[in-house]
Amino acid sequence: MSWTVPLTDIVITEGDRRAVAECLEGGWLTMGPRTQRFEAALAEWTGAPHAVAVSSATAALHLACRALDLGPGDEVIVPALTFIATANAPRYTGARPVLCDVESPERPNLSAAAVERCLTAHTRAVIAVHFCGYPADLGPLRELCDMREIALLEDAAQAIGAEVEPGRQAGTVGALGCLSFFSRTQLCMGEGGAVLTADAELATRVRSLRSHAMTSGTWDRHTGHEVSYDVVDVGYNFRLDEPRAALGLARLPRLRGDIERRRAAVLRYREVLVSTPGLTLMWTDADVARSSHFAFAVLFESGEERRRVQEALVERGIQTTRYPVLHTFTELAPLAASGSLPAAEAAADRHLVLPLSSHRDDTVDLVAGAVRDVLGRG
Amino acid sequence: MAGTGTSPEAVPLYDLRLQPEDVRAVMEVLESGWLALGPRTDEFEAAFASHLGVGHAVAVSSCTAALHLAYLAAGVGPGDEVIVPSLTFAATAAAVIYCGATPIFADILGPHDFGLDPADVERRIAPRTRAVCAVHFAGYPAAVDRLRALCDARGLALIEDAAHAPSADLGGRKLGTWGRAGAFSFFSNKILSCGEGGLLATDDAHVAALARSLRSHGMTSGTSRRQTRETDSYDVVGLGFNYRLDEPRSALLLSRLARLEPEIERRRELTRAYRDKLAGLPHVLVPYDDAGVGRSSCYVMPIVVSDDGRRDAVRRRLRDEHGIQTSILYPAAHEFTAYRDRFGEQRLPHTERVARTEITIPLFAHLDEATQDRVVGALGEVLA
């Protein structure tokens, strides 16, 4: 079943394909020169001193938690409205995620005030999520974390290239920042992710744990630099491989343009939808200017209205999605009672993510028109 | 390895050559624009399950991930013990620790057979033992028939680390299908490789369902199924991970799987030729026997030198004087800093002897006889 307008549409160019083909023809598929070049290019592009390519953003978050030595007895504050991996990453280390409310349904990122209410003697870190690519307000969060001597991590899986502080990109403000290269993200390569950090020691730790904490890699041994290895910690196989690094390298130079095209599409959506009865735009114009636009979401008056619109759009071949609030999942239900995090719950219930791609602004008017039409018939 | 050797005539440990149809298969996926878990992965899983003669195959991001899911599916949790070999890649034991359990190292049979010793396994079974993991070293079957009987008798799960053995068998039954679950590797230096990748094989529908769920965050529906409108929301059950493979890698594996058997047959020929050439060499023991070669997938060519003080010098001279790359499979896991720190000093005599005397010499499908002669000649020279 194919959609008239899919949620997102990925175009892999001829040049992208050539880069992957050259890598495959070369026959070296594992952590090697392309991964090194991709990491260097990503560090330069984001402005992060260190970039470590990994197998997914989930892996990036897990490694970030390990790098900070989180473990049993520790608490990590995460927003209740995010992808499940944000809350699972502390759990992989034995730490406990604490679900925190967001600022408001219109700006559903962590607020320092809400975080402050979740702090306990066991809090070791806060993971700020830049939901849909819109920067969380990191200034007050950083101040709070610094004051309490806890770590601020950025889950920037949806926010590569967003400006979170003047001149600072998503993932470069916190102690560690995590990026995603999953197939729907702005810089997609299938499965993939990266950890950004300014701290050389944390970068070394992440790099080590990414590949089983071995003191030398296959490439070092292949090139004759090392003859054997020790294993100095319990690490993982969270490596990226060379074909994906090649794809990332080929796509990175176009990323800024892709983000700007996404922003233009979002601005057009907002122009058409701004005074639609029954619909509320999320975020402010200033937020839009700083976002990297992973996704475009709007709010309806209630969950029922959202469901009605979603079903009507399905009828028209328009694909949409939404993020459930984490404590509605069976697995995380014990973490918060229903009704205890009202802004996140309302945002989750009322929002709907509309189609957005880097290259298809022709569909924006069609989708926005359909939404207006459905609401007009309510 | 094209363009990466230390000199033009260097002999690499392994050398991957993909065919034009392999590259084409990946290009087609990229052109389609659907990169996340989807129809090619489904197709590869079905093809690999049928190749093994097993009910279920679940493609994952690495063999480490497959081992982790296999242990979880066997019910391994905090406080439990899993008996594993030490002469293996670190992942076999590390994945036990991911589950909160303790790896208990058992010894191998000896320098003639690097497989787990069932008698030593039996001695190490304790009240908290949950599972035993057997490694099929280089694709030569560990005694999984005996281990399976032992595990059945003691109510333990047998897990197979079949990273080296994508198509090897014991008594006509494919390795990786003898226990509760088998873990396969598609890492770049493996026989069937895609870069990073792995797979869990099982005949148990519950194990397969759990692996399938936990490889993608315990979500009750995946991106692909939401794409096809089968559902628009999901629940999350269990602590899952992102252990997914993606479509370009599945397409590459699917293309290469068609040539797996002839490639392994070629590796067997090369292994037999090595065995003949090495037979008269003093100070060298070649593990396994000619009959074993026919059942093995011949992932690598291990030899054992008689004097453990010489191994590192032999490897250095092979590299520096003859341009021949070798490896050690494996440094003993129980001697790694990470394991000594956690579990203390331990003695595994056969494992330690092999870990100090083993040399893995070059083996890959397009190796030619002249190069084999060069490798054996160089070995003769440096061992003389």
Q: What CATH number has the domain bearing residue B114?
A: 3.40.640.10
Residue A236 confidence (pLDDT) above 90: yes
Contact at CB, B189 and A221, closer than 8 angstroms: no
Q: Judge: A190–B64 Cβ closer than 8 Å, yes or no.
A: no
Q: Which of A3-12, B18-27, B200-209 has the lowest mean pLDDT?
A: A3-12
Same domain assignment for residues B46 and B90 = yes
Alpha carbon distance A270, A281 (integer Å): 7
CA distances from B253 to A277, B1, B16, B186, B259 (A): 52, 20, 13, 8, 10
Mean pLDDT of B126-145: 98
Worst-scoring range by mean pLDDT, A41-45, A220-224, A241-245?
A: A220-224
Residue B354 lies in a domain: yes
Work out the average pLDDT over B284-289: 96
CATH number for position A291: 3.90.1150.10
Q: Say what the pLDDT of residue B233 is.
A: 76
What is the per-residue pLDDT for A362? 82
Same structural domain, A106 and A60: yes
Q: Is there a contact between A24 and B26 if contact means CB atoms under 8 Å apart?
A: yes
Cis peptide before B98 (omega within 30 of 0): no
Instruction: Please tell me the distance from the alpha carbon of residue B327 to that of residue A219, in angstroms, as a whole number.
Output: 12
Instruction: Pick from A6-10, A356-360, B185-189 the range whose average pLDDT is largest.
Output: B185-189
Q: Is the pLDDT of residue B223 over 70?
A: no
Residues B77 and B192 in one domain: yes
- Whole-number Å distance between alpha carbons of B358 and B352: 10
- Whether B162 and B184 have beta carbons less than 8 Å apart is answered as yes
What does the alpha-carbon distance between residue B159 and residue B214 come to, in Å, rounded to a whole number?
A: 18
- Chain B residue with minimal CA distance to A18? B27
Boundary-marking domain end, from A221, A253, A285: A253
Q: How far apart are CA B327 and CA A218, in angstroms?
A: 10
For residue B2, the model assigns a pLDDT of: 40
Higher pLDDT, B232 or A186: A186
Size of the A and B interface in Cβ pairs below 8 Å: 196
Amino acid at A78: V
What CATH number is attached to the domain comprising A151?
3.40.640.10
Q: Which of A20, A223, A237 sits opposite B196 (nearest CB)?
A: A237
Q: What percent of chain A has pLDDT over 90?
A: 94
* A222–B contact, CB cutoff 8 A: yes
Are residues A150 and A24 part of one domain? Answer: yes
Q: State which of A198, A222, A253 marks the end of a domain.
A: A253
The domain boundary, picked from A238, A253, A268, lies at: A253
ipTM above 0.90, yes or no: yes
Q: What is the pLDDT of residues B149-162, one digit of tens each?
A: 999 999 999 999 99
Residue A3 lies in a domain: no
Q: Which two tokens stand for residue A240?
A: 């990226």
- Among A276-280, B16-20, B125-129, B306-310, the minimum mean pLDDT is found in B306-310
Interface test with A, best of B30, B62, B330 (most A CBs within 10 A): B30
Pick from B4, B23, B338: which is nearest to A234 by CB? B338
Nearest by CB: A321 against B62, B195, B226: B226
pLDDT exceeds 90 at position A217? no
Do residues B26 and A20 make contact, with C-beta atoms less than 8 angstroms apart? Answer: yes
Structure tokens at A218: 């296959």
Residue B167 to residues B53, B185, B188, B264, Cα–Cα distance (Å):
11, 12, 17, 8
Residue of A13, A18, A83, A241 best to disrupt the B interface, most CBs of B under 10 A: A241
Contact assessment for residue A336 and residue A327, using Cβ atoms and an 8 Å cutoff:
yes
Instruction: Say how far apart CA B255 and CA B262 lie, in whole Å.
Output: 14
Chain B residues lying within 8 Å of A56, measured CB to CB: 61, 242, 244
Q: Tell me the C-alpha distance between B334 and B86, whole Å.
A: 6
A257 Cβ contact list (under 8 Å, min separation 6) = none
Contact indicator for B186, B193 with CB cutoff of 8 Å: yes
What are φ and ψ of residue A69, in 5° steps?
60, 35
Q: At a CB cut-off of 8 Å and minimum separation 6, what does A123 contact?
A: A74, A75, A76, A77, A98, A148, A150
CA angle A17, A23, A26 (to 5 degrees): 140
CA distances from B307 to B113, B358, B359 (A): 18, 10, 12
Domain residues for the domain of A165 are: 14-253
Task: State the Cα–Cα distance between residues A94 and B242, nearest whole angstrom.
Answer: 18
- Give the separation between CA B167 and CA B189, rounded to whole angstroms: 16
- Whether residue B361 is found in the same domain as residue B330: yes
| Among A12, A22, A29, the residue to mutate for chain B (most B Cβ within 10 A) | A29
A127 and A213 in a single domain? The answer is: yes
Q: How many helices (H) and strands (E) in chain B?
A: 15, 14
Bridge-partner residues for B361, per DSSP?
Answer: B301
On the question of pLDDT at B230 being above 50, the answer is: no
CATH number, position B317: 3.90.1150.10
Indicate if A188 and A203 belong to the same structural domain: yes
Q: Is the pLDDT of residue A353 over 90?
A: yes
- The answer to whether position B209 is within a domain reads yes
Chain B contact present for A235, CB below 8 A = yes
Average per-residue pLDDT for chain A: 96
Judge if B301 and B280 occupy the same domain: yes
pLDDT at A122: 98
Q: Average of pLDDT values for A65-93?
A: 98
Residue A206, in any domain of the structure: yes
Give one DSSP letter per residue of A111-177, joined into a string. Answer: -HHHHHHH--TTEEEEEEE-GGGPPP-HHHHHHHHHHHT-EEEEE-TT-TT-EEETTEETTSSSSEE
A331 touching B, CB under 8 A?
yes
Percentage of chain B exceeding pLDDT 70: 95
Residue A318 in any domain: the answer is: yes
From B40, B130, B190, B217, the catalytic residue: B190
Give yes or no: residues A107 and A207 share one domain.
Answer: yes
Q: What mean pLDDT, rounded, does chain B reach?
A: 94
Task: Give the separation between CA B118 and CA A107, rounded to whole angstroms.
Answer: 61
Mean pLDDT across the stretch B260-264?
A: 97
Q: If DSSP states are collapsed to H, E and C, what string results for B314-360?
A: HHHHHHHHHCECCECCCCCHHHCHHHHHHHCCCCCHHHHHHHHHEEE
- On chain A, the residues whose CB falls within 8 A of the CB of B61 are 55-56, 191, 237
Packing angle, helices B20-32 and A14-26, rounded to 10: 150
What is the number of domains present in chain A?
Answer: 2
Of B86, B92, B44, B49, give the one whose Cα is nearest residue B331: B86
Burial class (CB in 10 A: 0-12, 13-18, 19+), A276: middle
Do residues B270 and B230 share a domain? no
- Interchain pair A1, B228: CB under 8 A: yes
Q: What is the pLDDT of residue A216?
A: 81
Question: How many domains, chain B?
Answer: 2
* Residue span of the structural domain in which B304 resides: 260-383
Is residue B174 part of the annotated active site? The answer reads no
Nearest CA among A100, A102, A108 for reference residue A131: A108
pTM over 0.80: yes
Which pLDDT score, from 0 to 100, does residue B3 have? Answer: 39
Query: What pLDDT, on the 0 to 100 scale, is given for residue B4?
Result: 44
Instruction: Identify the CA nearest to A164 among candidates A201, A138, A192.
Output: A138
Q: Where are the beta strands (DSSP E) in chain B?
A: 56-60, 81-85, 102-106, 108-110, 113-116, 129-135, 157-161, 169-170, 173-174, 181-185, 198-202, 284-285, 301-305, 358-361
Q: Which residue has the higher pLDDT, B253 or A377?
A: B253
Residue-level pLDDT at A341: 98
Angle between helix axes B311-322 and B369-383 (nearest 10 degrees) is: 130
Among B112, B120, B13, CA closest to B334: B120
> Does the structure show a pLDDT above 80 at A26?
yes
pLDDT surpassing 70 at residue A268: yes
* Residue A337 burial (CB count, 10 A): 9
Asked if A46 has any chain B CB less than 8 Å from its own CB, the reply is: no
- Distance, in Å, from the CA atom of A129 to the CA atom of A174, rounded to the nearest integer, reads 11
Tokens describing residue B54: 């097993």
Report the alpha-carbon distance of residue B184 to residue B201 in Å, rounded: 8
